[in-house]
Structure 1
Amino acid sequence: MIVGVGVDLVDLARFERAVDRTPRLRERLFAESERDLPLRSLAGRYAAKEALIKALGGSDGVRWLDVVVAKTEDGDPFFELSGTTADVVAARGITRLHVSMSHDGGAAMAFVVAESDPSVGEA
């Protein structure tokens, strides 16, 4: 059952200006495994993290560094969650997260769907 949906759009030029103006944003927003990626990829990951927060219904307990956007061998994005963010997702009964990212022109966007399984927790 779908329990949340989130979408976010990032203007690449604006994102680049923010990172240039505040270099520590990389350390505050992205896990070590993400930080050296090109800005275009970071913008997509930022959009995915923002879309996740929207799908969860808010940012309470969500920590930027607890959310890593990784890729499967086929290149499909997925979330690796840890810490309080993983706890928040579990507490809300979310059993599966779907994420899609795209870039076009001067923008990066992401879409997240949060699902629960009503049968989980049944005796």
Structure 2
Amino acid sequence: MIIGMGSDLCNIERIQAALDRHGDRFELRCFTVIERAKAAKRPFTRAGTYAKRFAAKEAFSKAVGTGFFQGVYMKDIGVVNLPSGAPTLHLENGAAKRLAELTPDGHEAHIHLTLTDDHPWAQAFVVIEARPLP
């Protein structure tokens, strides 16, 4: 069953402006070590890489119904890739706690994430599914 759904559209130029204005402070406040490493490997599309991840964090916060309140913070939501290359989210602290609160007993949460960009826009969709435990 679906227990949450969220989407976000992010302007890549806005992320580039934040990087230009705040540099490392912006990156450290919003992104995980893994996300920063991935962006560093993509110097020509760095802002787009960050914009997709920023959108994913926003989409997740909408899917769990909190926004960035009630202990759900950007740094606790990280985009990671499965062995297949498909993106998903790794959650820590308040973000993981909020997801656990939403997940019905006898179920486990599975996060579906899709990312795309077409300059100047980056977009993310998050669907949270509760699957019965075996």
TM-score range, shorter chain: 0.7 to 0.9
- Runs of 4+ that moved beyond 3 A: none
CA RMSD for the aligned pairs?
1.5
Correspondence for 1:31: 32
TM-score by length of 2: 0.81
Distance apart, 1:107 and its partner CA? 0.8
Counterpart among 74, 84, 106 of residue 84 in structure 2: 74
Unaligned runs of 5+ in 1: none
**Matched residue type, 1:86:** A
Equivalent residue runs for 1:16-55 within 5 Å: 16-23=16-23, 24-36=25-37, 37=39, 38-55=46-63
Q: In 2, Cα distance between the equivalents of 1:40 and 1:74?
A: 21
2:65 maps to 57
* Cα deviations by residue, 1:21-40 (Å, 9 ceiling, x for unpaired): 12211000001221240221
TM-score, scaled relative to structure 1: 0.88
Listed as ranges, the gaps of 5+ residues in structure 2 are: 40-45
Find 1:83's aligned residue among 76, 93, 102: 93
C-alpha separation in 2, matches of 1:63 and 1:50? 10
Find the counterpart in structure 1 of residue 114 from structure 2: 100
Percent of aligned pairs sharing the same letter = 35
Which structure: greater helix fraction?
2
Pick one of 98, 107, 113 that aligns with 2:127: 113
